[in-house]
Structure 1
């Protein structure tokens, strides 16, 4: 029996996108491990966000993945206010860089485990921010597409963090 492109395409698409996600997380891990806590306190450019803010922002945004993909509750809901709703340097008390580093590692592991448990066809189901009626008209508004957009988001901020080197 031969395998046709239509039977392997969903699994192949999922693998391609999740491989890019995993590589982006690994690249971020490598960069974060090369930057000191003191360096992450610096602005990426004069008047711009600090490294600590970008790290907290990435954790808060990735926390939303769990909800959007219907994989559970946020791990760090307390990070939403200082890192999504508020601009950098407007919140007086932020978690320590060491705490954020720990959150990043724990969250990345939890997300990877949840991603690995999803079957390829489940990635093409609707995410929680779209209703059934809209999803029927726009099936591209699926779980896999959320990972595509979040990977792009991660890459954007990874580029900013590289300016700290």
Structure 2
């Protein structure tokens, strides 16, 4: 394995371990628990699940891997705060299904990229800026999304208590 391959493996080992931990947690929470706020006045579990799906869906165009699969979730889970209502948003069951299917699809797409591909420019950085800042690459998107996922995993843990 060359240095790039080792780095990609390290990043994805962490990404997939965290996804597995999130799956375990989500599978341990009831639909009713996911309708609870993580703390008084804070987001509910259902909102955090929808938010994670929308953020991960947004990776597809950023990484040049296709169009969003759940563009309808963008406004309600990224642009708008938690309304504390279930009206107008997908059910917990629908979101659970989206989450599972999305993780399988992302893995298939990620597996299609080489280590060199991961060190290439993503679509949210200009060619000029990428020349000056080559660390703004596709792999860095996975790093930032892993941190984001870890943060919300911690929040979801609060529902379990």
Rounded to whole Å, the distance in 2 between the matches of 1:105 and 1:17 is 21
- Report the 3-state secondary structure (helix = DSSP H, G, I; strand = E; otherwise coil) of the residue aligned with 1:73: coil
Partner in structure 1 of residue 7 of structure 2: 13
Rounded to whole Å, the distance in 2 between the matches of 1:19 and 1:68 is 21
Deviations 1:64-90 (A, max 9, x none): 111110000001000001000000017
Q: Tell me which of 122, 126, 130 is aligned to 1:131.
A: 126
Partner in structure 2 of residue 150 of structure 1: 145
Larger Rg: 1
Q: Tell me which of 82, 93, 105 is aligned to 1:88.
A: 82
Q: Which runs of 5+ in 1 are unaligned?
A: 1-6
Deviations 1:111-152 (A, max 9, x none): 011111100110000000001110000000000000000000
- Report the 3-state secondary structure (helix = DSSP H, G, I; strand = E; otherwise coil) of the residue aligned with 2:69: coil
Rounded to whole Å, the distance in 2 between the matches of 1:27 and 1:116 is 20
Rounded to whole Å, the distance in 2 between the matches of 1:44 and 1:93 is 21
Rounded to whole Å, the distance in 1 between the matches of 2:84 and 2:73 is 14
Q: Tell me which of 109, 112, 132 is aligned to 2:107.
A: 112
Number of equivalent positions: 159
1:26 aligns with 2:27: no
Runs of 4+ deviating beyond 4 Å:
none
Cα RMSD for the two superposed structures: 1.0
Partner in structure 2 of residue 44 of structure 1: 38
Q: Tell me which of 60, 63, 83 is aligned to 1:66.
A: 60
Rounded to whole Å, the distance in 1 between the matches of 2:6 and 2:59 is 22
Q: Which runs of 5+ in 2 are unaligned?
A: none
Rounded to whole Å, the distance in 2 between the matches of 1:146 and 1:66 is 11
Rounded to whole Å, the distance in 2 between the matches of 1:102 and 1:131 is 35
Deviation at 1:33, TM superposition (A): 0.1
